[in-house]
Amino acid sequence: MLLIDAGNTRVKWALADNHAAPGVWLAHGAVTHADLPQLELAWSEAVARHGVGRILVANVAGNALRVQLEYVLQRAFPDLALEDAITWFASVPALAGVTNGYRNPAQLGCDRFAAAIGGHTLAPGQAIIVANCGTATTIDAITADGFFLGGMILPGLGLMAGALARNTAQLPQIAHDARLPEGFADNTDDAILSGCMVAQGGAIEHAFAQHGAAVCILSGGAAPSIAPLLTVPYQMVDNVVLVGLHAAAGVQRPPAE
């Protein structure tokens, strides 16, 4: 099966055997939205080697990207009846051992629901925080028995730094992967970086303490930059949304939107 996580900035994908454990993939990759056409070749090669009979997509980037994805998928899999093969993953009241505690379960972002399933699959029987640090940072709490309590959403590392650069007269844009200074910053670039990084790490640690979690499942493009700041136990996961999609696919075919 082909698993696709269409986020706000990048499209991540993985090819998985139907009977493989969640997170064990035959191939995987990622492209920015602008480079989406490149996936036609990658997916064509994947189907030539392994065959693809099912496609599961979590899309939080809107209808325009969905249309683009459908076009690329049609070109990559010309012999596949896509209307039957594609499932557009959506948040539901319960799936794959996770109960959705949102007031309106359908309102929960499908990526957050998939990430919760992925985290619970990787750390069964443990109270966890799932922190997915991408364009936005989402921090969610799941109980040991799989109840999704809810969480928080804040600007991601790049958005935080970019907002300061755009909306202040003399503050520069800084690279979010720059080296964090020790102690208090003695220059503006480092002060911005310190503030953004500590805000991210502090939000994760606050959620961890509030939940009484045993471990934080940490994922997303900014996760390697944020991880060194954490003083709580964490497990780095390359793409927790794809892991969750994989786990959900192994249980049942999730309802289409």
Whether pLDDT at 103 is above 90: yes
Residues 136 and 166 in one domain: yes
Range from 84-88, 144-148, 182-186, 197-201 carrying the lowest mean pLDDT: 182-186
pTM: 0.91
Give the pLDDT confidence score for residue 177 in this predicted structure: 58
Instruction: Write the pLDDT tens digit of every residue in 20-38.
Output: 999 999 999 999 999 999 9
Average pLDDT, the chain: 90
Could you tell me if 13 and 39 are in contact, meaning their C-beta atoms sit under 8 angstroms apart?
A: yes
188 shares a domain with 76 = no
49 compared with 11, residue with greater pLDDT: 11
pLDDT tier for residue 257 given thresholds of 50, 70 and 90: very low
Could you give the 3-state DSSP secondary structure of residue 103?
coil
Last residue of a domain, one of 88, 123, 138: 88
* Residue 82 in this model has a pLDDT that exceeds 80: yes
Confirm whether 111 is a catalytic residue.
yes
Asked if residue 229 and residue 204 are part of one domain, the reply reads yes
Give me the number of domains the chain comprises.
2
Strand-pairing partners, residue 139, are 131, 152
Among 241, 252, 240, 250, CA closest to 110:
241
Does 183 have pLDDT greater than 90? no
Position 256 scores a pLDDT of 43
pLDDT at 5: 98
**What is the pLDDT at residue 110?**
98
Q: In the predicted model, what is the mean pLDDT of residues 75-96?
A: 92
When pLDDT is averaged across residues 50-60 and rounded to a whole number, the result is 93
Does position 173 have pLDDT exceeding 60, yes or no?
no
How far apart CA 84 and CA 184 sit, in angstroms, is 57
* Termini Cα distance of the chain: 19
161 and 184 inside one domain: yes
**The predicted structure's pLDDT at residue 152:** 97
C-alpha distances in Å from residue 64, one per residue of 89, 132, 221: 17, 23, 23
Same-domain pairing of 163 and 102: yes
The conformation of residue 238, written as its DSSP 8-state character, comes to S
In the set 5, 17, 84, 111, the catalytic residue is 111
Same domain (yes/no): 11, 71: yes
Three-state SS for 217?
A: strand
Could you give the CA distance from residue 57 to residue 25 in angstroms, rounded to a whole number?
16
**What is the share, in percent, of the chain residues with pLDDT greater than 90?**
72
Instruction: Specify the pLDDT at position 11.
Output: 97
Q: Is the pLDDT of residue 167 over 70?
A: no
Q: Which of 88, 122, 138 is the last residue of a domain?
A: 88
Among 78-87, 88-97, 121-130, name the one with the lowest average pLDDT: 78-87
Examine residue 247 and state whether it is found in any structural domain, yes or no.
no
The CATH number of the domain holding residue 217 is: 3.30.420.40
